[in-house]
Amino acid sequence: MMLEVGLTQDVDTCLALRRAVFIDEQGVSEAEEMDGRDAEALHLLATLGDLPVGCARILLKGDTGKIGRVCVLCAARGKGIGAALVQACADHLATLPGITRAELGAQTHAIGFYEALGFVAYGPEYDDAGIPHRDMERAL
């Protein structure tokens, strides 16, 4: 099956994927996951064939695109889908006028994954939804 990653208007599918990964699997509360910012975000969806397997969103602020809510269904992990999602976010951000950097909040166990995609950690570790995180950035 062929992996496709791109911008989508299908926010409901993205929300269902995020519910499966963040709420059901990782135990994040619905109140923390559903932060009310999806209407202002750009959404990317990853599909294998016709099957939605992952998603991410981008929020814009000043010269920065914040990549967030990156998730891949458990059964689809280890196939490069997460990396493809993050790279697609960075590639899209690079096409937007005035956007010069990407940032994200990485779960600490995933820092190496994001470093391999060109991100550099900065600042202290912090708790987000009961999960340790660090901020990371990458110039576009």
Q: Which domains does the chain have, with CATH numbers?
A: 3-139 (3.40.630.30)
Per-residue pLDDT band for 1 (boundaries 50, 70, 90) equals confident
Per-residue pLDDT band for 66 (boundaries 50, 70, 90) equals very high
Per-residue pLDDT band for 9 (boundaries 50, 70, 90) equals very high
Q: C-alpha angle with apex 110: 107 to 113, nearest 5 degrees?
A: 145
Cβ atoms of residues 57 and 11 within 8 Å: no
User: How is residue 74 annotated by DSSP?
Assistant: G
Q: What is the mean pLDDT of residues 52-77?
A: 97
Cβ atoms of residues 47 and 69 within 8 Å: no
Give the chain's radius of gyration (CA, Å).
14
| Average pLDDT of every residue of the chain | 96
> For residues 74 and 71, what is the distance between their CA atoms, to the nearest angstrom?
9
pTM recorded for the entire structure:
0.94
Which residues, 6+ apart, have CB-to-CB distance to 110 below 8 Å?
none
